[in-house]
Amino acid sequence: MNEQVAIITGASRGIGKEVAFQFAKAGLKLSILGSSDEIYQTKAELEKEGYQDVLAFTADVTDENDIDHVVEATKNAYKKVDILINNAGLGAFKPVGDVTVEEWKKTFEVNVQGVFLASKAVLPIMKKQKSGTIVTVASDVSRYTIPEGGSLYTSTKYAVQGFMGSLAQEVRKDGIRVGTINPGMVDTYFANGTQGDPEKKDWLKVEDIADAILYMAKAPKHMVIDEMHLHPLIQDYPRM
């Protein structure tokens, strides 16, 4: 992994921030982005740990110009892009009747359009290199539905899974590996939560997800890990 270059979306906190730390520890050069200034806190913490190859951007994954700028700046600084981790995402859980059109559009824009835009932006570079890995943090609810207020979030993650599956088939011939990671409940700030909340003590940890993403990214070049499903033992969920 040494000297490989990774772009990580949504690295201000939660899963994306831990992925940034594990990737830095593995010797990767990083471009991290988030829509808030909190992203600079992640950069500062990485630098404090001695990781200096970190570019940080306030960039909104729903904005094509923002994303193109991040990819362009990464390419200019590091001369290549080996890995894209599409991690930025939002969760809103309420009955269908309470979901506004604005919430519907916003969640689709971040969770689906964001994955499309970042993937689209790195593809020309990866195609030219004839190599690259794109991993998207989808969700366990991209493979089954949940009853309690899950319609909006679930439909975005089903869309992501469809996009990634087709993309994988489209770019396989270009030497580009595409996979998704589908976690169950993870202790983060997701859906206005608080990371470290005692009620979530038995949920998956950000380290569990970051470990799995690192494993997917560093798989031997001849191997693609299509999907990984991870759940906390305490979670009850339908088996596929």
Contacting positions for ligand NJP (CB under 6 A):
9-16, 34-36, 38-39, 60-62, 87-91, 110, 137, 139-140, 183, 185-186, 188-190
CA distance 59 to 50: 24
> Considering the complex, what minimum distance in angstroms separates the CB of residue 173 from ligand NJP?
28
CA distance 145 to 143: 7
CB closer to ligand NJP out of 11 and 178: 11
CB closer to ligand NJP out of 59 and 125: 59
CB closer to ligand NJP out of 44 and 175: 44
Do 199 and 151 form a contact (C-beta atoms < 8 A)?
Answer: no
Q: Give the pairing type, strands 176-183 and 227-230.
A: parallel
Contacts of 79 (CB under 8 A, 6+ apart): none
> Considering the complex, what minimum distance in angstroms separates the CB of residue 175 from ligand NJP?
26
Which residues are marked as active site? 153
CA distance 153 to 95: 11
> Considering the complex, what minimum distance in angstroms separates the CB of residue 96 from ligand NJP?
19
> Considering the complex, what minimum distance in angstroms separates the CB of residue 195 from ligand NJP?
7
Neighbours of 159 (CB within 10 A): 18
> Considering the complex, what minimum distance in angstroms separates the CB of residue 116 from ligand NJP?
13
DSSP code at position 186: B
Neighbours of 202 (CB within 10 A): 11
CB closer to ligand NJP out of 190 and 224: 190
Long-range contact set of residues 37-45: C-beta below 8 Å, sequence gap at least 24: 38/12, 38/13, 39/11, 39/12, 41/12, 42/11, 42/12, 42/13, 42/17
CB closer to ligand NJP out of 67 and 81: 67
